[in-house]
Amino acid sequence: MTTARPAAVVVLAAGQGTRMRSATSKMLHAIGGRTVLGHVLAASQGLDPERLVVVVRHAREEVAAEAVARVPAVVIADQDDVPGTGRAVQCALERLDAAAHAVAAGAGTASAGDEVGLEGTVVVVAGDVPLIDPETLAELHAQHVAGGHAATVLTAVVPDATGYGRIVRDEHGRVAGIVEHRDATREQLGIREINSSIYVFDAAVLRGALGRLGQDNAQGEVYLTDVLAIARADGGVVGAVQAASALTVEGVNDRVQLAQLGAELNRRTLTRHMLAGVTIVDPGTTWIDVDVELAQDVTILPGTQLHGATTIGTGSTIGPDTTLTDVEVGEGVTVVRTHGSLAVLGDGASVGPFAYLRPGTHLGAHGKIGTFVETKNVEIGEGSKIPHLTYVGDATIGEGTNIGAGSIFVNYDGVRKHRTSVGSHARTGANNKFVAPVT
Ligand code: UD1
Ligand code: CA
């Protein structure tokens, strides 16, 4: 097996996604805390391609902005008004060839008019396949290179192939071509091996075949799938690699699939954490985003959702019924029935039940934010406790201090916010109002 880099990965993201019935492009719907397009870009980056191209058209600005945000070096290629996956790849290739020509001209190795184009392998990935992983892409690419193929398609065998392009094989079992559902004969409709819309092509083969594609099919589109039969007719070897799981290559076309793939992604994420030493008591009610980091011997109790860049240190117990977004939890912390975002909890701290941690909450080691307590933009020193029925906003509290039950830190005078400062080893009584600014 070779580890050669692909010359380019082309992600197709120009389609309309009508079946989502949404004002938002289907590429920008999220599962596991990341957009569908973000998942595909992350898997594509795993191949370390020389160029990563995203083809855009519908919701162009939003889709392009998301691509640039995830991969600053991404090349954006615009598809024109000719529809179809084949046209999308052609637009990407023209963009890449122009760039390759500019580089050659700049280096003085080509003069104007020279036919300098991209060389090597081009990987094409549909932008709506969020569960695709870098290992599957790498295996596809490696088999393509090792076999000296003109083209290689990633396929899957599915129980219900409705809507998919079918893989047509000859009497020797070799790939003869792909036929779309709407163009298939009754016999071809019985085929359950489907096209994933993920391929590797030799750049020269792809360029040559794209130029010969027509629009003579049921949808009147330029089909990328037709490249395979052309490559084979020209004497090239067309390979196929079957994905281990059909879900890995399933596209998001409607919100039912979005939910199904979201659940599968979550199941995979939970499995990864459990195998790495995290106890998850009830995987059925636990949702964890892909970027969340959990140390060994963390325990997650039922009804817990961990989002964004949340990190949990070893020995901590989170839940039940807790939602944390971008919260940094230290070691040996307990967080019970709590809703929190953008907070930092020190080692050995305890939170809840029924706490609301708002952005800027910093709880020191062995500190406590207790029952029916809301905090915002507050530094709480080591070992300090806010046990009951309290609102603390815009404050600094020293170490080893206890804030009495029913305290309100009155931080807002209707126009401006002010800070309250409480020293170390202080004890405040019950039912106080600290009208800021106050020390
Ligand atoms: C496509 C394949 C089909 C395959 C299926 C797998 C073709 C002709 N058909 O069908 O064989 O089984 O995917 O999910 O390729 N796109 C563009 N520009 C376009 C049209 C589509 O960029 O003009 C993008 C879409 O944004 C999407 C991807 O290409 O990311 C696939 O498009 P979609 O319309 O979902 O294709 P399918 O009909 O599902
Ligand atoms: Ca699709």
Q: Which of 85, 175, 196 maximizes ligand 1 atoms within 8 Å of its Cβ, making it the mutation to test the pocket?
A: 85
Q: Which amino acids bring their CB within 6 angstroms of ligand 1?
A: 12-15, 55, 79, 83-85, 87-88, 126-128, 164-165, 178, 180, 194-197, 223-225, 251, 253
114: pLDDT strictly greater than 70: no
Say yes or no to pLDDT of 40 above 90. yes
Distant-in-sequence contacts of 295-298, Cβ < 8 A, 24+ apart: 295/331
Compute the average pLDDT of residues 396-405.
98
Instruction: Residue count of the chain, please give it.
Output: 439
Give the per-residue pLDDT at 1.
Answer: 45
Please report which ligand is nearest the Cα atom of 250.
1
- Mean pLDDT, residues 405-422 taken together: 96
Look at 99 and 423; give whichever has higher pLDDT.
Answer: 423
Rounded Cα distance, 205 and 234, in Å = 9
Task: Give the C-alpha separation, 205 to 198, whole Å.
Answer: 16
Q: How confident is the model at residue 104 (pLDDT cuts 50, 70, 90)?
A: confident
Please work out, in degrees rounded to the nearest 5, the angle formed at the alpha carbon of residue 230 by the alpha carbons of 227 and 232.
110
Minimum CA distance residue for ligand 1 atom 21: 15
Catalytic sites, residue numbers: 388
| Minimum CA distance residue for ligand 1 atom 35 | 253
pLDDT in the model for residue 110: 58
Average pLDDT value for the chain: 96
Mean pLDDT calculated for residue range 269-294? 98
Query: At residue 157, does pLDDT exceed 80?
Result: yes
pLDDT the model gives residue 27: 96
Q: What percent of the chain has pLDDT over 90?
A: 93
Q: Considering every ligand atom, which ligand is closest to the CA of 196?
A: 1
CA of 131 to the centre of ligand 2 (A): 13
